[in-house]
Amino acid sequence: MCALLASLSLSSFASALEIKNQTVIKGWSVIEAKTDRDGHSYQALRCDQPGCNSREASMSLLLWGSKYRNAITPMVGLGSDLPRRFPAQLSVGRKLFAYIQNKKPGPHRLLPKRKSDDAKIVRAMLSALSRDPQAVVHVTSSLGERKISLNGLPEVLAYFDEHCWIN
C-alpha cells in the first residue's frame, strides 16, 4: 500500500518526490517525503475498499501535511478523470464540509472547498472518534455515498507531530 501511496503522490503533488521513509499505522500507509515544491511533508492514505491498488475503483482518504505550512489537509480520492469543479460533501459526526476537484480532469484528489476548513475537518474527525471508536467519514457525490474508517487517525496525527512537527 505504501508503494501505491508513493505512486499516487507523484501525480498529485510534486514534480520530484523523494521518499525518505514508509510505514503502516493501523491501516494507514504513511510516507515521509521531500518535494521540490512543498519541502518536507508527510502523507497518510486510508483505503478500506477492495481495489485500493486501482485509483479508478477506490475511495480513499489522504492526509497531507507540509512542514512549510504546518498544516494538515484532508483530501478525498474518488477515482480518476473527475471533471474540474466536481463537487462532493464529506460528513463526519454531525458536521458537513464541501469538497471540490479544482484541477483539470485527471487523477486528482478533492480538496476542502474552503482552506479554512482543513483544521475543522481534522478536529471533527477526532471528536467523532472520541465519541465512537468505530467512527467513519461519509463522502457523498453524484457517484453515490461511500464511507471510510477513521481507525488509527490519532496515531497517524501523533506520528505527524512527532516526526515532522506538523500539528
Cell 475511495 appears where?
59
* 53 Cβ neighbours under 8 A, 6+ residues apart: 4
pLDDT band of 4, cuts 50, 70, 90: very low
Count of structural domains, the chain:
1
Q: What is the pLDDT of residues 95-121, one digit of tens each?
A: 999 999 988 877 778 999 998 999 999
Residue span of the structural domain in which 67 resides: 2-164
On the question of pLDDT at 7 being above 90, the answer is no
> How confident is the model over 15-44, as pLDDT tens digits?
467 888 899 999 999 998 887 777 778 889
The tens digit of pLDDT for each residue in 11-23 reads: 444 446 788 889 9
